[in-house]
Amino acid sequence: MNRIASLRLTALVVGLFAAGPAAAASWSYEGHGGPAEWAKISTDFAACEGKDQSPIDIKNPIPARLGEIKVSYRPQSLAVINNGHTIQVNFKPGNSMEFEGETFDLVQYHFHTPSEHAFDGKRSPMEAHLVHKGATSGKLAVLGVMMVPGKPNDTIEAIWNAMPTEAGPEKEVAEALLNPQALLPANQSYFRYEGSLTTPPCSEVVKWINLKQPIEVSQAQLDRFAKLFPMNARPLQPVNRRFILETEGK
Ligand SMILES: [Zn+2]
């Protein structure tokens, strides 16, 4: 290869490399590209101005006879990615949840600080989102779990120890076998409403299942995540005409 061709190739490779993170960084949580502008950034993000957006403040829920959440998760080696907006743990097929008559496969979970949803106006320091995809409908079912200061969580510790401090490709840690069950509280009563992804493209395809009971993590674990992502929560969205339901009793 001659020198000019070599330089051109270098420029192309550098250009491609720059396009990835730049494209991913085209939306943000504050300032330019922030939540108020998401719908204008791309026609693909038009849903961000929709009427059924998430997160919301969950208040005055209507008690209803809602079905049980039946998860069947199993330990899997850790695959973690820093995508520039959060720390995300990816899953291969094999972990599922039965909900409202459908099987949903766990695709990934990730974290927000502070929590995105609020319960009666109050946000928690963090929130985990366990994202499942419906095997038949293609809809998403997301389990939202509040995280509050208390005892340290071993699973969170293992993820934080492996998390890349800068955006980049997925990292596999074969020796870290983690069970996503460790992110669920003992009590599985929940709030339920129809909403959206809380990040662009904000698609309104999400069955939200917000567990009422939080899980505990240590203050040091909360601080460690916030050091990487001081604020990665979308502002609360209007409820509009939606109903918020809650499991009866408990
Ligand atoms: Zn999320």
Residues with CB under 5 A from ligand 1 (ion): 129
Cis peptide before 235 (omega within 30 of 0): no
Nearest to 204 by CA among 48, 35, 24: 48
How many angstroms does the Cα of residue 66 sit away from the middle of ligand 1? 23
User: What is the distance of C-alpha 73 from the center of its chain?
Assistant: 18
What are the φ/ψ torsions at residue 131 (nearest 5 degrees)?
-95, 120
Neighbours of 27 (CB within 10 A): 21
How many angstroms does the Cα of residue 109 sit away from the middle of ligand 1? 8
Is the overall model pTM greater than 0.85, yes or no? yes
How many angstroms does the Cα of residue 1 sit away from the middle of ligand 1? 47
Residue 82 located in a structural domain? yes
Residue 8 located in a structural domain? no
How many angstroms does the Cα of residue 85 sit away from the middle of ligand 1? 10
How many angstroms does the Cα of residue 211 sit away from the middle of ligand 1? 14
Residue 146 located in a structural domain? yes
Tens place of pLDDT for every residue, the chain, 250 residues?
444 444 444 433 333 333 344 444 489 999 999 999 999 999 999 999 999 999 999 999 999 999 999 999 999 999 999 999 999 999 988 999 999 999 999 999 999 999 999 999 999 999 999 999 998 998 999 999 999 999 999 999 999 999 999 999 999 998 889 999 999 999 999 999 999 999 999 999 999 999 999 999 999 999 999 999 999 999 999 999 999 999 997 5
Residue 114 located in a structural domain? yes
Residue 16 located in a structural domain? no
Residue 12 located in a structural domain? no
Range 167-173 contact pairs with CB under 8 angstroms and sequence separation of 24 or more: 167/21, 167/24, 167/25, 167/82, 167/83, 167/84, 168/81, 168/82, 169/81, 170/79, 170/80, 170/81, 170/90, 171/79, 171/80, 171/81, 172/77, 172/78, 172/79, 173/77, 173/78, 173/79, 173/80
CB hemisphere CA count around 146 (13 angstroms): 22
Structural domain of 213:
35-247
- Domains of the chain: total: 1
What are the φ/ψ torsions at residue 151 (nearest 5 degrees)?
-75, 150
How many angstroms does the Cα of residue 22 sit away from the middle of ligand 1? 21
Query: Could you tell me the two tokens for 140?
Result: 């998403």
Residue 22 located in a structural domain? no
How many angstroms does the Cα of residue 178 sit away from the middle of ligand 1? 20
pLDDT at 134 (0 to 100): 96
The domain that contains 239 carries what CATH number? 3.10.200.10
Residue 57 located in a structural domain? yes
